[in-house]
Amino acid sequence: MPRLAIDPADYQASALDPRTLFEKNIEAVWLEIGFGAGEHLSAMAQAHPEIGFIGCEPFINGVARLLRDVDQHSLTNVRIVMDDARLLLDGLAAGSIGRAFLLFPDPWPKRRHNKRRFVGPENIAAMAKVLSDGAQWRIATDHMDYCRWILAHMCPAPKFQWLARRPGDWRNRPEGWPGTRYEEKGAQAGRPPAFLSFERQARKQPIKQP
């Protein structure tokens, strides 16, 4: 963990360029928010050695599971933030993330708790800041009310475009999208997942370098 953890001082101080966190030349940095036990992150890091991965998860048991995978597969392209993703998003440089994943986020089903859902105006704006032009934000959920909520917030967001053209695009697992523990749990309970991919639209003005 001391080797892989990102020091909070790195993202609390200024606009962190996440490429500097990786040893070798990487093509881009991808971010997974709330990776749980890390199955998706580990599979993606194995499939894409040319990409640097940041996983963000405050749940210590999940971090421990991911560390086991990192060790087992000798992964050198994974860094971990054991913190609330919102703090990391605030500290990342604009346009520094090439793809992001939010898989089976807590659905907060009670109406009075809906505001705690990760997808909402503030985090959509924060994601629009950190994602590069044309980057995908992939979101999965098996909670149909949260699915409707995500679409109701993301579809009108001018900086994002939902990429689905036909029902199969969000009902069927896209290629290269590994499954997770929560997905498996939901499937066993008869809750099919929705796979939602959004594209960060090109900025009208180039990003100003700090």
Ligand X SMILES: C[S@@+](CC[C@H](N)C(=O)[O-])C[C@H]1O[C@@H](n2cnc3c(N)ncnc32)[C@H](O)[C@@H]1O
Binding site for ligand X (CB under 6 A): 33-36, 56-59, 62, 84-86, 103-106, 180-183
Task: Please choose, from the candidates 21, 4, 7, 11, the residue with its C-alpha nearest in 3D space to the C-alpha of residue 66.
Answer: 4
Contact 45, 8 (CB under 8 A): no
Q: Which amino acid is at 23?
A: E
DSSP state of 80: E
Buried/exposed code over 16-53 (b: 16+ C-beta within 10 A; e: otherwise): bebeebbeeebebbbbbbbbbbbbbbbbbbeebeebbb
Parallel/antiparallel/unpaired status of strands 97-103 and 131-141: parallel
In the complex with ligand X, the residue whose CB is nearer, 31 or 154, is 31
Q: Min. distance of Cβ 56 from ligand X in angstroms?
A: 5
Q: Which amino acid is at 77?
A: N
Q: How far apart are CA 78 and CA 176, in angstroms?
A: 18
Q: Is 142 a catalytic residue?
A: no
In the complex with ligand X, the residue whose CB is nearer, 89 or 93, is 89
Give the Å distances, CA to CA, from 180 to 35, 75, 101, 143, 188.
9, 19, 12, 15, 13
Q: Min. distance of Cβ 16 from ligand X in angstroms?
A: 16
In the complex with ligand X, the residue whose CB is nearer, 41 or 135, is 41
Q: Residues 106, 133, 142, 169: which is the catalytic one? A: 106
Task: Please choose, from the candidates 3, 176, 136, the residue with its C-alpha nearest in 3D space to the C-alpha of residue 75.
Answer: 3
Q: Min. distance of Cβ 22 from ligand X in angstroms?
A: 21
Q: Min. distance of Cβ 149 from ligand X in angstroms?
A: 15
In the complex with ligand X, the residue whose CB is nearer, 38 or 52, is 38
In the complex with ligand X, the residue whose CB is nearer, 109 or 134, is 109
Q: Min. distance of Cβ 104 from ligand X in angstroms?
A: 4
Catalytic residues: 106
